[in-house]
Structure 1
Amino acid sequence: MFDFDVVAGETVRNILDGRRPEVIGIVGDAYRSHEAGESLNPDSYFLRFPEKPDSRIIALPAYLGADVQLAGIKWIASFPRNTRAGKPRASAVLILNDYETGYPVACLEAANISAARTAASAAVAATALRPGGFAGTRVAIVGGGVIARNICDYLHAAGAAPDAYVVHDLHRESGEALVEHLRGTQPASASFTDDLGTALGSETVVFATTALEPYVTAPFKPGQVVLNVSLRDLAPEVVLSAQNILDDVDHCLKADTSPHLAEQLTRSRDFVTGTLAGVLNGAVSVNADQPVVFSPFGLGVLDLAVGAYVLTQAREQGSAIQIPNFFGETRRW
């Protein structure tokens, strides 16, 4: 009961990169468990810095029952200025706690876990909201960072096979890097465009930016699927003109996300069509008469589900690092 393991980033990445279809299934199951009330997912807590308004460190506590039976917390920093020095924007750790005793059992490098669960969430949504498949369509990626790269990898693992990708990023070098990644990993053609409008005309549009406020003001067209992963790119009017699928309604309607701005504008939640779990369970449906926007706030239960899987795999393959005598006292007396 007093075992404590550390799982390093390289191990996490190797496990996840080789098991993307399994991770997609884990994330889908976690959504269903959350919808069924088998989890606790309190509000995230934001540590902000007055002199760095674009930077924050977020605590995401959660508990996931079902087959996981773990509590835990992800502590994730987002410092966009890191990218100017060629460093990743985000860094994170995940602490997992045993549900029976409350004792922590492991610490995992979690930037890779966070990116994987975010990308798997996007893949689950994309395939659920475009059940007819992606043949004959284009996928646009707005933002060319780590999350965007992971989303593309997970879309591929989910069987989403568009004819072409088009990438847009204000930082052309990042966008071109993603294009090269796509050309080396997927059969679809890939190209960069510096024209946002060209990207926004695609049948599926993925937003993975660091935008702090909306800049997309034109409504999307019927049949378009929008994965609003970065949450703050869309003006509220764009949200109100679409069918809106959220990961969790209460969580997503806060912190000035695009759906939250829509709620503030209308003083209503009537624009919310339902949750992704509702779509997966068949309780919520969308139609082709309006565009569909999926907005995932990002749930800590997803980190727990993916983290628990990584820990199990690391222990089985002997790559978890055991820390002897981590706890100073193991008896009351």
Structure 2
Amino acid sequence: MLILGADDVRRVLDGAEQEVLAAVRQAYRLHAQGRTVLPHSVFLRFPDQPRDRIIGLPGYLGDDTPVAGIKWISSFPGNLEKGLERASAAVILNSTDTGMPEAVLEGSVISARRTAAGAAAAAAALVPATADTGVSLIGCGVINFEVLRFLLAALPELSSVTVFDLDGARAAAFAARCADRWPTLKVTVAGTADEALAAHPLVCLATTAAAPHLTTDACRPGTLLLHLSLRDLTPESVLSAVNVVDDPDHVCREATSLHLAEQAVGHREFITTTIGDLLSAEAPARRDEDRVTVVSPFGLGVLDLAVADLTRRRAQALGLGTRVPGFLPG
């Protein structure tokens, strides 16, 4: 059994943004081609802890070298008050020949970067009339920091970022971290969510919201809104937008904004296309210049498997990780 801890994973993935983007794009294309097996994620929730959950995401990715496994990821927002990370995770990779587990990887870094890479890939596949030079990030946590990392890799014209968080001190610290990591970026802290929504025609939502609390009224026409946290937008805002998802069956469940929109109208006709179909097209699609486009990726487990497999292969080439003999019987 190969064990790769957080330091191993970061060492492998730091500076490998283009490789991660390529792996995520390929996983989306394979899913669009029907070359994946993706059971619904399993949500473990706790009595009297409505914000906390642990999710199991099993999957199979049928590439030339197939990958199978599962990500087991928790989200406990209260950890932040304890000085801990909100999310923690493990990824198990299994042999597709014997079914035996072959590797266990720290999964929160993998999960954050595949989420960010998927958002950046979608943004690059939906071309605006004028190139994006700025982005607004609502929710100043790990995910949006990684989103900025991958947006800069996918959209090199970006030169400014506006950030907002309900916790003003958290927003200020996040802005300082961004400025320190990317000194040439112009970083601004918005006073309200609406101010951030209006600041740029590219917006990313990555909050811990459990129920809708935002509309798209403040967005500029033609805005591309990356709705990563899935529960921020009112159903009315979803229904008025051009909607792109990773998988309709996966995203229209668990009280996401799209699930609530489906319940309101009784159908899914408001969903226009999928990220996989966009990435499989011969040419990039054009954003609607008059309406807001909302990209809502539920987070497919095959993306985690693609990045975990990339991590394992690169780690093995570098001799990283810990081998645990005798982990399996026999």
- Matches for 1:1-333 after TM superposition, within 5 Å: 4-130=1-127, 134-135=131-132, 137-186=133-182, 187-201=184-198, 202-219=200-217, 220-282=219-281, 286-329=287-330
Take 1:113 and 1:133, find their aligned partners in 2: how far apart are those partners?
32
Name which of structure 1's ranges 204-213 and 137-146 shifts more when overlaid on structure 2. Answer: 137-146
Root-mean-square deviation (CA, aligned residues, Å) is: 1.5
Unmatched runs of 5 consecutive residues or more in structure 2: none
3-state secondary structure, aligned to 2:104:
strand
| Deviation readout 1:187-206 (Å, 9 max, x if unpaired) | 22001122111101121110
Aligned pair count reads 325
CA distance change for structure 1 residues 286 and 155 in 2, over 3 Å: closer, same or farther? closer
Mean CA deviation greater in 22-31 or 274-283: 274-283
User: Is contact 2:216–2:292 with CA below 8 Å preserved after alignment?
Assistant: no
Cα deviation digits, residues 111-151 of structure 1 (max 9, x gap): 0000010010111011112355645x431100000111111
Q: Provide closer, same or farther for how the CA distance between residues 313 and 218 of structure 1 changes in structure 2, counting only shifts above 3 A.
A: closer
TM-score normalised by L of structure 1: 0.94
Hey, what's the Cα distance between the residues in 1 that align with 2:135 and 2:203?
A: 6
**Contact 1:130/1:225 (CA < 8 Å) preserved in 2?**
no
| Counterpart Cα distance in 2 of 1:83 and 1:106 | 29
**Cα deviations by residue, 1:218-240 (Å, 9 ceiling, x for unpaired):** 43442100000000000011111
Q: Distance in 1 between matches of 2:324 and 2:253?
A: 39
Contact 1:122 1:227 in 2 (8 A): yes
**Separation in 2, partners of 1:63, 1:222:** 39
For 1:147, what is the secondary structure of its paired residue? Answer: helix
Cα distance in 2 for partners of 1:67, 1:156 equals 30
Matches of 1:74 and 1:218, distance apart in 2? 32
CA–CA separation in structure 2 for the residues paired with 1:276 and 1:141: 21
Aligned to 1:127, the other structure's residue is in SS state helix
SS of alignment partner, residue 66 of structure 1: coil
Instruction: Give, as a single letter, the amino acid of the residue that structure 2 aligns with 1:85.
Output: K
List gaps (5 residues or longer) in structure 1.
none
C-alpha spacing 1:132/1:315, structure 2 compared with 1 (3 Å): farther
* Secondary structure of the structure 1 residue equivalent to 2:145: helix
| CA spacing shift, 1:173–1:67, aligned 2, 3 Å | farther
1:268 is displaced (CA, Å) by: 1.1
Identity %: 43
SS in 2 for 1:222: coil
Farther-moved stretch of structure 1 (218-227 vs 62-71): 218-227
User: Equivalents in 2 of 1:208, 1:166: separation in Å?
Assistant: 14
More divergent stretch after superposition (229-238 vs 80-89): 80-89
